[in-house]
Each structure stands twice: as structure tokens, then as C-alpha cells.
A and B are shown apart, each in its own frame.
Chain A
Amino acid sequence: MASPSDARSDSVGLQRFGLGFALGQSAEIRTAPRDRLLAEIDRGMPPQPAGVPFSGAAEIGSALYAFEDRERIEREARRVGETKVAAAAPAPVAGQNQMAQPKPVNEPALPYKTYRGEVLARVRLALEAETGFGERLVQFWSNHFCIGATKSNMTRIMAGAYEREAIRPHVFGRFEDMLVAAESHPAMLDFLDNRLSIGPRSPVGKRRGRGLNENLAREILELHTLGVSGGYSQIDVTNLARIITGWTVVGREAVLGFPGSFAFNAGLHEPGAPPLLGRHYGEAGKAQGLAAFRELSRHPATADFIAMKLVRHFVADEPPPALMTEISAVFRRTEGDLAAVSRALIESNAAWRAEPTKIRSPQEFLLAAFRALGRKPDFGQINGPLNAMGQPFWQPSGPNGYPDSNDAWASAEGVKTRIDVAAGWGRQAAGSVPDPRALTEDILGPLLSPETRQSVARADSKPQALALMLMSPEFQRR
């Protein structure tokens, strides 16, 4: 029999590591929540979203290029006053028939339409999840290795596929595999410009007089592996940029593979074995980058950096040092086995019993609220509030991803905007949920304070009662 304080920390634990209680779920989910989370790790990879517009990046690439070609032709046609656009369009290629149809009025362009479908499928999965731990880890890693959908058509159309292909399969797998999958994904190669980077002494570099772009290399060291104080220099940045020259995206001519898929182009690759962190990599071609990534993924600075970010994300803005040390040690010992790392986090009493101080991020808040209210939102009902609160899917303002602190999310304007959003959700859900007092007891369970209970009970309307529950400190902090 759990003591009241155990029951409370179990409920905090579920909110800390999961997505909150869903309408109609509460009684059962509160039994042995820690065992549930551990069982989720044992089951392995979280499910993939269903019903997405395209299966993967390779399929998306062809569609994107066809879309861009069509756009260009339409633009040119407009410029010369040509009205019969259809006549100028290329003959439809098999499998791209939908591209040859005229675009219906008010239909968003293909990249945005695809993004919309990906967001919807992604959110549906999170609303259906039992605890939501796997989905939280997908969010965490997706933000760690973030891309930004606003950069280009390619990052917009591939944002969801990137998460499905590079992140989700590895959240209970190996860090090294996730690192390679992320850095070799066309969305990342486009987002941080490596697809354009050319070794100055490569065959193409010598012929065209073009050269390096060190954007991706720098962020790999600074944001994806070692961390900014991980002990690398400008030389290491430039040399890693040399090592990963040739990691690029197949163009529309499909010379090296499916259009829009990853390819290693030897013609762009800088010859030689420039030192990275004092070590030379003699491997040829793509293997040189893979060897460098293996080394980076096993570097102690990487283990410390990942441990710090995980503990900061799940436990506290000021991560407890002992817990970081513990998680880093597991990362090192297992060479980045993320199932073992996740297990260590859940099993740690320090992580499980810490007071709930972190404010839910806007995405967590939205998912928790829709779970609590039993909502099945459409795209606008997801994207509008997330935009207003500053965290739409896959479009942070820079490659460091969305912030992860109360300073950022519990700001004056942030809290005020949340209240506006919660007021809207209260109005929308008032007709479909049971008595708000009963709902509040169900959703917050042992977390519910007398003050919040009283505040909800004294609300002047059902929408207001729901907004008060959603904005209560117990719902906001985890």
C-alpha cells in the first residue's frame, strides 16, 4: 500500500516523465507508474505515427522537386503573361500524378500541407500514448538534434519525416546511431548547409573554386555532441567540416540515388586526414565521418553534456550534480545505450522524488491539456496556440532548439499567453467534459491542493473552471 507521500511523488513522476493523465484513464494509470515507464523502455522503439502524407524522405524528395519545378514554371509563365500554365508543365511522371493537377484555391502549398499532416499524426500519437514517456523522449531528442522548418521548402516538407527517421527509432537505441542518422538526414544537411559544402581540394572544389561551409560541423561539436565547453577549437570545427564534405542530398537529376535522399558524393570530399581533437582519421570517404562520429559519441564530454541536458529537462533547471554524474557514468559505461540511460533516470530516487518545479513547455502543456480534456484537435487548434505560446513543432529560431528553462517559458508574457490559450480551451471543451470539479480530482489526483480545488469549485462558469484547472500550479509544473 503506497503511503500518501509515495502516491504524490508517483503522480509527480508521471507528469515529469510523461504527458499527464488522459480523460478516463486516471485510476488505472496511477498503479505502479514507475514499473509502467520501465516496461515502456523494455518494449523498445515508440510506435510510428500513422497516416502521414509520405512514407519517408526519399519519397518526399521526388515530390518536392516536382513541386518546385512546377512552381518555377508557373512563376515564369506569369512573368511572360502566359496563361496556359498547364501546357508548359512537364508531362506527369508515374507516381506524381497529384502534382500535375492544378492546385485547388486556398489549398496550402505541398511543403506546408505535408508539414500539417505530419504535425497532426505526431500529436495524435502523443494523445493516445499511455504514459507518454516515449513521446517525451522523442520531443527531447528531436529538440536536441533540431532542424528548423522555416529554413526552406526541404526542411518544411521533411520536418516530420526527419523525426520519424532519424530520432524516433533510436530513443531507446544507441546515441551513436541517432547521431549518424541525424547528421546524414537530408533535412539536417539542408538546414545546416552541409549539402552545399565542398572540399576546396576535392575534384569539384578544384574545378569550381568553391569551398567549405562549416555550419553543420560547428553545431555537431557545440550542440549535438561535446557541448560548447567540450574542449574543441576553431581548427577542430574546420577539420570536421572537411571530414564531412560529400555528405549531401541527391539532386533532382538523381545521379547518386533517389532524388532528395542522402548520398555521399566522393567528388566533393576533401582528401587527407585532418586531425579532429588530436586524432587523425585515415578512413576513406564516408567512413571517415562515421569514424569521427563514433569517437565523438563516446567522448566523455558528450556523456556529460547529454546527462546535463536530460536531467535539466526532466528534473530541474539547476540539475542536481550527483544525478548528472550518475547518468553520465551510465552513458559512458554503456557507450551511449539510451535505453540504459533512460532506465537509470527513471530508477533514480533523486529524479523520481524531486519537487515539481519545471513549468511544462508549451508543447507539453498543449498535449497534457488535450489529454485531460479528451480533445481531438485539428491542425489549427494545435498550431495556433503553439505559435502564440512560442513553440510550434519543428521551428525553433536557431539550431540550439527551444529553450528548456522556467526563465524562458514562465515569463510574464508567456504566462499571460497561456492563460489566454487556456481560456479558449475551457470555452471549447465546456460542452464535452464532465463536471469540472470531478475532472480536476481525476486529472490532478494526489497533486490537487485545497486552494486549487476551492478555486475550481467557485468558478463562475464551466469554461472558467476548466481554465483554472489547466492553469493551476499543479497542472503547470512537473
Chain B
Amino acid sequence: MVDDDDDCERMTPSRRAILGAAGALFAWSFVPKFAYAAAGSRDPRFLLVVLRGALDGLSAVPPIGDPDYAALRDDIALMKDGPDAALPLDGFFYLHPAMPNLARLYASGQASVVHAAATGYRERSHFDGQDVLESGQAGPGKTESGWLNRLIANLPPGEGISQRGVLGVGVAPPLVARGEAPVLGWAPPRMARAGSDLIQRLGDLYGQRDPGLARALSQAVTTEGIARRSGMSGEAKGGGGPDSADGMKRIAEGAAALVGADDGPRIAALAFEGWDTHANEGGAKGRLAQLLGGLDGALASFEQGLKPVWKDTVVMVVTEFGRTARVNGTVGTDHGTGTVAFLVGGAVKGGRMIVDWPGLKPEQLYEKRDLKPTTDIRAVAKGVVSELFGLSGPVLAEKVFPGSGGIGPMAGLVG
């Protein structure tokens, strides 16, 4: 691999593919820091957080101003007054009291809330719903690649962002990051790291015998190099999983350090788990409140860890679908449709509710049970990435979100 600073401008697709080849395995240590963007233009960061299990949007961002809200929600309804009052957003919508950081970011114009949103998927399977959300396809069943990966693959040749790959956090990276373009992996460390000599020998062996393992290993080595140069110690081990506040914080800190590094990836995907609140969901306190608190803490970790580039950052938080408008027989909520998404970061034109509110009367609900989706998540995602990365409408409609030609990018999300 030739590594002069100018060369990235002339990168061809075949050159980019080198990153995955065994021959390039240890070249990372000789790669100088690239200048990613011309002076004066933005060097954007985009992090996608997938909440697995279907977040209850009506509890995360309760429409307390809607006269039908309190009755539907019964025991788990949030209040605008009292000891555990929800946090005001625009006087009609409020934020769950477990999310003070997000409320602060919203108030300072660095966060927007999209409500009554959904993908194009209208069944209620978590796993198909997540596949649709992450594959970016119009329907389930096409899971060869994720839309963030195709986004990178379709950036103009020579784009430094695509050369850096997409970071997929977790031992198994989220589908949204998988595909042909390079996927960098990272997870909070739990084991002592193997010596570099062993890694090198395995790199040689895989190079001779197993291209798939060679590619995976080379990408892991690349990430580790970035992590080391950005000062992540890799020593802290153990801790909670991605369904705990502690785990969410560690994951967010790690992702922020990698994405914030000069030579790090510009795009990352991570997943938090445990949002499937069928029973005893809780109101201002309880199970969902703990998870939302974890998410809120993770947002603060992003803000802190990405401080120097926060003004160029968008964090988008999405989930596969929402939950039933009415509380179910076990003080929880079953699988539903419309829900919320969050846009957070210094680059967000924030302080706004982005919503075409459908109402909560029985005939206003989707199939008389779920919040009716009035905004397509893909319009939001397309709007954000087109403004951040300059992708054209046709590329977005054909490559990144295939078959989404009828859903235009939402304008004005990024400031």
C-alpha cells in the first residue's frame, strides 16, 4: 500500500478493497494520518444507535398534551407536574424524566425528536423489524448488507471517509454496518489481549489459507491501532452488557474515542438492548426508566468523548418499531408500530419536534392499537446523511435505501 497523503484523493474502488486483503494486514502501523476533508469544509461524524427490542416512544417522549394520552397509559402514564415530572419539550410533548442530558441538549438546540415515526415495515416481528431498519431494504429477507455499509461503499471514489470503513461495535457487528465495505470491529475488552507476534503469524496463515478470516483479522488490527493511538488503554475489563447503563456508557465511550480519533472511522453503528417491555414497564421509575437513563448517559458520553468534533457530529437513535398505545394486561406494552427517533449532536439543527401528530383516539391509531406512523425513518436518515456526506438523491434511493424513491430526504435536519 502506498501511503502518501495525496493518494487518498485518487483512491479507486479496487484500492479501497485492499484494506481487506491479507497483504495489507500490518500496513496500518505505517499509515500516516490522512487529511480527510479540504480546509473549511466539514469533517462529519455519524453514529447510529439501534435500540433492540422496540422502544416505547409514548413513554420516552410522552404526548402529555394529548387529551387521550393519560387514559391509554393508565398506570404507566407520565405527569407534567409532581415529584417525577416529565421534562418539557414544546409544551405538548415531554421527555421521560430519566433523560436530563437529552433535555439539556434539546434546550440548547443540539437535539431534535422525531415522533410517530417508523420504517416501511408493518408487521410486528422484532427480528424482521430490525432487519428492515438495518438493511435499509423496503421489506424483510434481504440481509446481505446494511445501509451504513452501502452508504460508505457509494461515497465518491477517493473519499477518505469510505476508506476508513464503518465501525460496527460488538463482538458481532450490527447488520447495519455489515457488507462489502470495510467493517471495523470493537467491543469493550473482556480478555487479556494476545501478543502481536501471534496475530502476525495468524495473519500470515490466513493469508495463505483463508481469505475470510484474513479480512476479519486485518480489520480488527486496524481498529486496534486506532484505539491505541487515540489513547484507549484497553485495560478495563468486565462490566455490564449492552442492556445496562454501565454497559451502554462503556460502549459509547469506546465508540466516541474511535470515531473521534484523527485516523478513526467517521461512521459507527452500535446497539443497546433490552427495550422489549411486555410486562411491568414502569412509569417515571422502573425498568424502562433505567434503560432510558442508560441511553441518556451514553448520549452524555458521546458529547464528552467527541468534544473537539461535536459540532460536526450527528448521533441518530432508532428502534425497529414502537409499542401498543394502550397498556396491556400485564402493565407493559406489546409490539406496535409508530415510535420516536432522536437526532443529537452539535451538527443537528435542534430544539425541534419533528412530527405530524396523528392523535391517539381509537380511530386515529394504526389498526386501532398502535401509534400511527406519519414519518418514514428513511426520510430522516436520508436527510441527515445527504447533508452530512453529500450523497445524491438517486444514490440514496437506489443503493442506500433501495426502492425508497418515493420517500424524499427530509431537508433542514442538519445545521
The answer to whether B217 and A415 touch across the interface, beta carbons within 8 angstroms, is yes
A218 at interface, CB cutoff 8 A: yes
Q: In this assembly, does B208 line the interface, its C-beta being within 8 Å of a C-beta of chain A?
A: yes
The segment out of A66-74, A208-216, A334-342, A365-373 that lies at the interface is: A208-216
Q: Let me know if A211 and B329 touch, CB within 8 A.
A: yes
Q: Note all chain B residues with C-beta closer than 8 A to A388.
A: 171, 190-191
CB contact list, B156-190 vs A, under 8 A: 168, 170-173, 175, 178, 183-187, 190
Does chain A have a CB within 8 A of B210?
yes
Given contacts A406-B212, A413-B170, A423-B194, contact A213 B332 (CB under 8 A): yes
A403 at the interface (CB under 8 A from B): yes
Interface residue A451 (Cβ < 8 Å from any Cβ of B): yes
Asked if B296 is at the interface (CB within 8 A of a chain A CB), the reply is no
Q: Is the CB of B367 within 8 A of A417?
A: no
Could you say which of B190, B195, B330 contacts A213, with CB atoms under 8 Å apart?
A: B330
Q: How far is the CA of A406 from the CA of B223 in the complex (A)?
A: 20
Among the 9-residue stretches A26-34, A135-143, A469-477, the one with 4 or more Cβ atoms under 8 Å from chain B is A469-477
Indicate with 1 or 0, residue by residue over B367-393, a CB within 8 angstroms of chain A CB atoms.
100000000000000000000000000
A283-314 interface bits toward B, Cβ cutoff 8 Å, 1 = contact, 0 = none:
00000000000000000000000000000000
Interchain CB contact (< 8 A) of B201 among A223, A384, A468: A468
Stretch at the interface among B4-12, B39-47, B82-90, B119-127: B119-127
B35 at the interface (CB under 8 A from A): no
Chain A residues with CB under 8 Å of B194's CB are 419-420, 422-423, 467
| A464 and B198 form a contact (CB under 8 A) | yes
Q: How many residues of A contact B (CB 8 A)?
A: 63
- Measured between beta carbons, the chain B residues less than 8 angstroms from A197 are 329-330
Does chain B have a CB within 8 A of A253?
Answer: no
Residues 202-231 of B contacting A (Cβ, < 8 Å): 202, 204-206, 208-210, 212-213, 216-217, 219-221, 223-224
Chain A residues whose C-beta falls within 8 Å of the C-beta of B125 in the assembled complex: 218, 222, 228
Residues in A neighbouring B345, C-beta threshold 8 A: none
Indicate which residue in A223, A234, A421 contacts B191 across the interface (CB closer than 8 Å).
Answer: A421
Q: Contact: B171 with A414, CB < 8 Å?
A: yes
Report chain A residues within 8 Å CB of B184.
412
* Contacting pair A212 B328 (CB below 8 A): yes
Question: Contacts A213-B329, A388-B191, A452-B209: A228 and B201 contacting too (C-beta < 8 A)?
Answer: no
Distance A377 CA – B75 CA, assembled complex (angstroms): 48
Question: Could you tell me the distance in whole angstroms from the C-beta of B215 to the nearest C-beta in chain A?
Answer: 8
The answer to whether A378 has its CB under 8 Å from any CB of chain B is no
Instruction: Indicate if B199 sits at the interface (CB-CB under 8 A).
Output: yes
- Among residues of B, the one whose C-beta sits closest to the C-beta of A222 is B125
Specify which of B220, B278, B329 is in contact with A412 (CB 8 Å cutoff).
B220
CB < 8 Å: which of B197, B212, B273, B329 contacts A212?
A: B329
Minimal Cβ-Cβ distance residue in A for B217: A415
Contact yes or no, A400 B127, CB < 8 A: yes
Contact check: which of B172, B223, B334 meets A409 at CB < 8 Å?
B172
Closest to A221 in B: B125
CB distance from B175 to the nearest CB of A (A): 8
Query: When A420-B192, A455-B201 are in contact, do A410 and B186 touch as well, CB less than 8 Å?
Result: no
Report the minimal beta-carbon distance from A99 to chain B, rounded to whole angstroms: 26
**Contact bitstring B258-282, A, C-beta under 8 A = 1, else 0:** 0000000000000001101011000
> In whole angstroms, what is the CA distance A406 to B217 when docked?
14
* Across-interface contacts of B126 in A (CB, < 8 A): 398, 400
A416-B185, A459-B201 are contacts. A200–B329 as well, Cβ < 8 Å?
Answer: yes
B201–A464 touching, CB < 8 Å = yes
Contact B334 A412 (CB under 8 A): no
- Determine whether the beta carbon of A476 is less than 8 Å from that of B127: no
Question: Which partner residue on chain B sits nearest A233 by CB separation?
Answer: B123
B residues whose Cβ falls under 8 Å from a Cβ of A: 52-53, 123-128, 140-141, 168, 170-173, 175, 178, 183-187, 190-195, 197-199, 201-202, 204-206, 208-210, 212-213, 216-217, 219-221, 223-224, 241-243, 273-274, 276, 278-279, 328-330, 332, 334-335, 367
29 contacts between A and B (CB under 8 A): A150-B241, A197-B330, A200-B329, A213-B279, A215-B276, A218-B124, A228-B140, A385-B191, A387-B190, A397-B241, A397-B242, A397-B243, A398-B53, A398-B273, A409-B172, A412-B168, A412-B183, A412-B216, A413-B168, A413-B172, A414-B185, A415-B220, A416-B216, A449-B209, A452-B205, A460-B197, A468-B205, A472-B205, A476-B213
User: A197-B329, A411-B168, A423-B192 given. 7 additional CB < 8 A pairs?
Assistant: A214-B328, A400-B126, A403-B172, A414-B216, A416-B185, A420-B192, A424-B192
Q: Which 8 A-B pairs have the closest CB atoms?
A: A211-B329, A413-B185, A412-B185, A390-B171, A416-B220, A423-B194, A388-B190, A412-B219
